[in-house]
Amino acid sequence: MASLQDISPPIALGALDGRYRRVVSALVEHLSEPALNRQRLHIEIEWLIHLTEHHVVPGAGSLSPQEQASLRALVEEFDAAAIGELATIEAETVHDVKAVEYFLRRRLTDRLDDRGDLAELVHFAATSEDINNLAYALMVRGAVQQVWLPAARQLVAQVAQMARHLADLPMLAHTHGQAATPTTMGKELAVSAHRLTRQLRRVEQAGYLGKFNGATGTYGAHLAAVPEADWQRVSLEFVTGLGLTWNPLTTQIESHDWQAELYADLARFNRVLHNLCTDVWSYVSMGYFAQVRGQGSVGSSTMPHKVNPIRFENAEANLEVSNSLLDVLASTLVTSRLQRDLTDSSMQRNVGTALGHSLLALDNVRRGLDGLDASPEAMAADLEANWEVLAEPVQSAMRALAAAGHEGMANPYDRLKELTRGRRVSGPDLRAFVRQLGLPSEVEERLAALTPDGYVGLAPDLVDHLDV
């Protein structure tokens, strides 16, 4: 038997880099290993430029605008050759950040004539985590803001559009899985859109923190080398110049609390979306939605009549995988033994997988919703079969009359329970009951005219609260 390990190009081990690569490939720009090295290179170059431009180290040379541009172009031109060269260097250093440092030192010779005088300012006074924490902050921010958030906003807008379109479509509610006070399909979808929007705003407001303060967060090497520099100001200006929020108090690592907060918010969005998936799956099962588009697809391998709600089922699975990773990221990244351990190094390499499964779920749900048509007939049939849900408005009207001093309105709940519990009630049954209660004529007529599909309260108007 031929070995799959020997096939070239290499076969992907994981689903995201194999079967679902097309959907999640945009995350490669931000959360892959080469993206990490590219951001490390970016940080090293910007640190070198910052030191020289602000004359932090007395007597050190400076870089001309042309030289700065030439170095920054290394990031823009980062390609397969650069990736391969870094891999070769790392095989010798057995240290990923050191490999980037040596890569940049080579480029001072290759790109800039006679600038070996600046070689010792590459990675000056920096620990690996000074580079890594800033690289990860920029990577995660880019992935969330440029890839995940646009996809999530698109989906929420789609749900909100469906909610508005179906705002007036009456539907039997099913609290505890039982027939309950009618609502509208639009209002129920609006609840999901509203919940998702709240979580989106939390993600949009996330802070991305960074630090640059040395091996134990004390600026020890900085002060020893250049005691006259205001190193806190240098650090603050460098970190904020990257568009990040400066963290002044850390150990060797930036504490990762911001990551834990962000991942918790992403996981909560996922859980709300998972709830939408299970609800829509149930509505499909009830016949409230028909899966009528894309008829060329195979729904079941053995039953020709079936169109399975696989988009929502796949989304559930991917959301669960995403959340398992987001949860462990959030719970473990906030802890580091004493001033440093390396558990975060391996852990953070899973951020791309966590966001990838969430992104895949967003695509699943979007395509699933695209393939649905509401079925008013099925909803109307369920409403017509459950007139007993009108026991609630009748007994509520009787309570209001009793509170106002009307006689004959005692024990309305028990009287309606006796009529409706454990049995089907037809329209004529309910109207006959209403007419023998001795209600004021205007109340009697209002309740006698009530139907299940008309008993939706303010549901259609509530959809207007959406601000998506």
Question: pLDDT averaged over consecutive 10-residue blocks of the chain (468 residues)?
Answer: 85 92 96 97 98 96 94 97 96 96 92 82 96 98 98 98 98 96 98 98 98 97 97 98 98 97 98 98 96 52 61 97 98 94 92 98 97 96 94 88 84 75 83 87 93 97 95
Please tell me the predicted confidence (pLDDT) of residue 300: 44
Query: What is the DSSP secondary structure assignment for residue 454, as one 8-state letter?
Result: G
CA distances (Å), origin 128, targets 95, 186, 380: 10, 52, 65
For residue 408 the two structure tokens come to: 């004959």
pTM, 2 dp: 0.93
Spell out the domains of the chain, with CATH numbers in brackets: 23-125 (1.10.275.10), 129-376 (1.20.200.10), 386-457 (1.10.40.30)
Please tell me the predicted confidence (pLDDT) of residue 432: 87
300 is catalytic: yes
128 is catalytic: no
Q: Answer yes or no: are the C-beta atoms of 328 and 347 closer than 8 Å.
A: yes
How many angstroms from the chain centroid is the CA of residue 324? 13
For residue 182 the two structure tokens come to: 């009618």
Please tell me the predicted confidence (pLDDT) of residue 251: 96
C-alpha closest to that of 292 among 307, 282, 281: 307
Please tell me the predicted confidence (pLDDT) of residue 306: 53
| Span between the terminal Cα atoms of the chain, in Å | 56
- Among residues 3, 8, 176, 441, the one annotated as catalytic is 176
Cα 183 to Cα 185: distance, rounded to the nearest angstrom: 7
- Among residues 62, 285, 300, 345, the one annotated as catalytic is 300
Task: Give Cβ neighbours of residue 203 (< 8 Å, ≥ 6 apart).
Answer: 144, 148, 149, 152, 262, 265, 266, 269
